[in-house]
Structure 1
Amino acid sequence: MSKDDLVQLEGKVVSVGKDGTFSVEVQGGHQVLAKLGGRMRRERIRVAQGDEVRVAVSPLDPHHGLIVYRTR
């Protein structure tokens, strides 16, 4: 599956877990367990609780995703 196949959703970080995982609430009230995407990790962009983020989710597994953008 390529990056073009991922669905991007807007959401808000609800909680920050250990080992770099985040619980993100997306539209419709669904919870997604997300990690930082490669470029976010490489550039050391910090994500905290309450931040608005964009999450890339696979259509095959909508419960896990990657945080690809943090809005300002």
Structure 2
Amino acid sequence: MARLKVFFHDACFDGTTSAALFSAFYRDVVDRGATVQSVGMVHKDGDPFDGVPLDADDHACVDFRFCADPRMRWWFDHHPTA
């Protein structure tokens, strides 16, 4: 049973929806028993992931800026600037 953290653009309908859909996909396809922790993120200058612990078994980022950390195995965004 994996622990999954899903980072998403907070206070935003498409971010919240993307996090919910990815969580359902992960439980249906990857690990039915996974526990999911959703973490809302806010855009800011610099690296928004600085100081944010990537301490789960698996990590995903949806509707938010790219994170080059190799522990962030899943990333989905629809913005052309992503």
Larger relative strand fraction: 1
Alignment TM-score, normalising by the size of structure 1: 0.24
